[in-house]
Structure 1
Amino acid sequence: MSSSARILTVCTGNICRSPFLERTLQSELDRSWGPGEVQVHSAGTGALTGSAMDPEARARLEAQGYAANGFVARDLTADLVAGADLVLTATRAHRGKVAAVHPRALRYVFAFREFADLVTGVSDDDLQVPSADAGEHIRRVVALAAAQRGARPPLDDSEADIVDPYRRAAEVFDQMTGQIMAALPTVARALGRP
């Protein structure tokens, strides 16, 4: 019997960065594992609960070939964090807020771009170990990434964080999109089916 994996993405308002991460990762992991094997959701530390995705973020998501339809923002809760196998945040500050809500999450919460950097330190042989299911594989990759924390030089915040575009110029939305899309292939490859 297969065990599906659960990934949670987190930002502040849950209308720009975390839904962009949610929808891109869900699509890539559906392509790899098949629909339903990995469930990606998002939440915000100060969510604009009930809101749709920001129109500027949505336009950029759709321009990359991903769907934004049906998205509704929601608040970060301890239950959402506790139920996840992996939490990917927009910034290191969000990582701290996730850990404050559910301290055990320290083992499986990472800033998204930082996670991409950490998994580049994991060997292809370790990433390609066959797994019984998506849940087993993703939990193993999380442990491998966590083990890299002391083995690789830490990124500075400008390299680890995704810029917050909310109520800012179009160029900042472009920057956010570029930061996410640059790291996405590395993350999707690590979390995808071996």
Structure 2
Amino acid sequence: MAIINSTVKPFKATAYHEGKFVPVSDETIKGKWAVFFFYPADFTFVCPTELGDMADLYPEFQKLGVEVYSVSTDTHFTHKAWHDASDTIKKIGYPMIGDPTQAISRNFDVLIEEEGLALRGTFVVDPEGRIKVAEIHDLGIGRDAAELLRKVKAAQYIAAHPGEVCPAKWTEGAETLKPSLDLVGKI
């Protein structure tokens, strides 16, 4: 089954967020745009570069009404310890979800079963809980938060403008396309 336009499966977890442990569930995310940002493990190498990059752009995501959730199979306790130990992770303002049961990673089909770790998976979820963007990387390939921000803007634009599509390299304010019979073969 294709994951695009599927609904986020039910889950309950605990996140480390702004110095507290907070509950997060599939119900928590409803009503606003969300990004799920899966990564293999705390205290590793590529992960802090990605999470730090996301932290730097987090205010831009918030301006768009998007909540970012980082997720690994570590516990929320480990997230707090990493936050306290690392200057890069200390700047994170978004919730860091612990997935020690691996249920959320399994739900999003990013779990490496034999290792108990998540692949680098990125998912953009609309306010109804439907997945609009899905991207999965091998463990050694880091992601770019600016490119994700562009994809979120495109997903939000398309949601607000039915009948239009965003072409390759579309950026906010650029022209979109309106698919029609007259457009076939003209691009």
- Normalising by structure 2, we get a TM-score of 0.35
Q: Which has the higher helix share?
A: 1
- Normalising by structure 1, we get a TM-score of 0.35
Higher Cα Rg: structure 1 or 2? 2
Q: Which has the higher strand share?
A: 2
